[in-house]
Amino acid sequence: MTATSTMTAQTKGISAVGLRKAYGEKVVLDGVDLEVPEATIFSLLGPNGAGKTTTVQILSTLIAADGGQAQVAGHVVDRNPDAVRAEIGVTGQFAAVDGLLTAEENMLLISDLLHLPRQEGRRRTAELLERFELTKAANKPASTFSGGMRRKLDLAMTLVGKPSIIFLDEPTTGLDPRSRRNLWQITRDLVTDDGTTIFLTTQYLEEADVLADRIAVLDGGKIVAEGTADELKRRVPGGHIRLQFTDAHRLDAAARALGQPMRDDEALTLQIPSDGSIPALRAVLDRLEDAAVEAEALTVHTPDLDDVFLALTGSSIPGQARVTEPAR
Ligand code: ADP
């Protein structure tokens, strides 16, 4: 544990430096650095087996790292695990929901485990079941619930303890698109309404794209890229600027000014390879201005996260990386 001096002082979010973990010969995490500001959604994106759950287990004090250091909610994880546990909630694929108990009984069990006064436990249970639209199902055994309802109940159970940081480990794996969107909205509300910090692991590029303020791509035990979805997309070739012109004359003049852009004479458009950054845009506009040509419209096309993943890791996320909508 040598990395203390490089840790950000007393962040209430999450920060980690140089996390390492091996199981026997197999190195799972090979020096992972993370920084998650308070009240934001951070997504750790990676294929099956990349080490996402291992990272969550270390940050949530379930297992110890072999090296490196992490701070969660202002506490050093391996020095003060109880303080960390008091601040966090963890929900994942292996839900804590007991199928034999009703939704309400599951919730009350958690409030008992947390030693909440009876009255307070009942009040919070009712409030959370209402918030997650589970009131009607409150007295049914959880085993009769759909996948989406189980995940909502699991999250509601996590919220009984009012955590300031929630780890969502692949929260929507296996859910239908409607339940998935429902959970996305709930996740967003946790940040905007309650100021919760969310650490989300996912294999779904779209999930990271729509939810996360920042995304880190985990591959081969290392973070291979980190940034906002837009920043990541800009790092990948395939982005371009598209210019639309009103007539062939202007198209010709602009094509001359811009070197050898791809042109479509029928659509009266030019396409210039670009990372879509402001300096790149400015350079194109300056050239047009110098040539006294006006474009009718300008659009910037950035590649999607699928392209990013392919470019960064050399392979697509296997299986169900894309969320596909059912035919209506
Ligand atoms: P992810 O959540 O990204 O799918 P995991 O963190 O679950 O990945 O696993 C990363 C790798 O570590 C996998 O190859 C997995 O087999 C291995 N692993 C995880 N836990 C253990 C363990 N307790 N013993 C041995 N290997 C493990």
**Cβ of 21 less than 6 Å from ligand 1:** no
Kindly list the strands in the beta sheet with 262-264, ordered across the sheet, starting from the edge strand earlier in the chain.
Answer: 262-264, 269-273, 240-244, 297-301
- Alpha carbons 148 and 183: distance in angstroms, whole number: 8
**What pLDDT does residue 31 have?**
97
Let me know if residue 30 belongs to a domain: yes
Q: Would 46 be classed as within a structural domain?
A: yes
Residue 171 near ligand 1, beta carbon < 6 Å: no
* Residue 121, domain member (yes or no): no
Which helix (H) or strand (E) segment is 167 a member of? strand 165-169
- What is the 270 CA–ligand 1 centroid distance (Å)? 48
Same domain assignment for residues 50 and 180: yes
Domain co-membership, 66 together with 188: yes
**The length of the chain, given as a count of residues:** 328
Assess if residue 308 is contained within a domain. Answer: no
Residues 154 and 248 in one domain: no
Instruction: Tell me the C-alpha distance between 142 and 290, whole Å.
Output: 68
* Alpha carbon nearest to ligand 1 atom 14, residue: 49
Does 132 map to a domain? no
One domain, residues 226 and 284: no
200 three-class SS: strand
Evaluate if pTM is beyond 0.75: yes
Tell me the CA–centroid distance for residue 135 and ligand 1, in Å: 37
Residue 182 maps to which CATH number?
Answer: 3.40.50.300
pLDDT at residue 94 in the model: 55
Q: How far is the CA of 260 from the centre of ligand 1 (A)?
A: 49
Tokens of 283: 């350079």
pLDDT at residue 68 in the model: 97
Q: Which of 20, 54, 199, 320, when mutated, tests ligand 1's pocket best, judged by the most ligand atoms within 8 Å of its CB?
A: 54
| Domain encompassing residue 297 | 238-302
pLDDT tens over the chain, length 328 residues: 444 444 544 568 999 999 999 999 999 999 999 999 999 999 999 888 899 999 999 999 999 999 999 999 999 999 999 999 999 999 876 568 899 999 999 999 999 999 999 999 999 999 999 999 999 999 999 999 998 899 999 999 999 999 999 999 988 888 888 889 989 999 999 999 999 999 999 988 889 999 999 999 999 899 999 999 888 887 777 778 999 999 999 999 999 999 878 899 999 999 998 878 899 999 999 999 999 999 999 998 877 777 777 777 766 554 433 333 333 3
The CB of 136 under 6 Å from ligand 1? The reply is no
Q: Are residues 214 and 248 in the same domain?
A: no
Give residue 308's pLDDT: 76
Which pair of structure tokens corresponds to residue 25?
Answer: 């010969």
The 3-state secondary structure of 245-284, one letter per residue: CCCHHHHHHHHHHCCCCEEECCCCEEEEECCCCHHHHHHH
The answer to the question of residue 319 being in a domain is no
Across the strands, what pairs with 262?
271
Answer yes or no: do 82 and 160 share one domain. Answer: yes
Give the end-to-end CA distance of the chain in Å, rounded to a whole number.
55
**Last residue of one domain, picked from the residues 177, 205, 233:** 233
Say yes or no: 228 and 243 in one domain.
Answer: no
CATH number of 281's domain = 3.30.70.100
CA 74 to CA 11: how far, in whole Å?
A: 5
pLDDT on residue 325? 37
Q: Please check whether residues 223 and 296 belong to one and the same domain.
A: no
pLDDT computed for residue 309 by the predictor = 76
Closest residue to atom 18 of ligand 1, CA basis: 23
Query: Is 107 domain-assigned?
Result: no
Same domain, yes or no: 35 and 75: yes
Integer CA distances (angstroms), 88 to 111, 125, 174, in order: 15, 18, 24
Confirm or reject: Cβ of 23 under 6 Å from ligand 1. yes
Q: Using the mean position of ligand 1's atoms as its centre, give its distance from the Cα of residue 24 in Å.
A: 12
Q: Is residue 281 part of a domain?
A: yes
How many CB atoms sit inside 10 A of residue 236's CB?
Answer: 20
Query: Which atom, in ligand 1's list, is nearest to the CA of 46?
Result: 3
Of the candidates 233, 261, 292, which is a domain's last residue? 233
pLDDT of residue 2: 43
Pair 156, 264 in one domain: no
Residue 300 to residue 79: CA distance in whole angstroms: 48
154 and 195: one domain?
yes
Domain end marker among 207, 233, 259: 233
- 218, 44 contact by CB (below 8 A): yes
Q: Are residues 32 and 176 in the same domain?
A: yes
Distance 54 CA to ligand 1 centre (A): 6
Q: For residue 112, what pLDDT is reported?
A: 93
Which residue has the least CA distance to atom 1 on ligand 1?
A: 49
If you measure from the C-alpha of residue 120 to the centroid of ligand 1, how many angstroms do you get, rounded to a whole number? 39
Sheet with 197-202: list strands edge to edge.
88-91, 165-169, 197-202, 41-45, 214-219, 222-227
C-alpha span between 320 and 21 (Å, rounded):
27
- List the alpha helices (DSSP H) in the chain: 52-59, 81-87, 103-113, 118-131, 147-159, 177-194, 205-211, 229-234, 248-257, 278-290, 305-313
Q: How many domains does the chain have?
A: 2
Atom nearest to 56 CA in ligand 1: 6
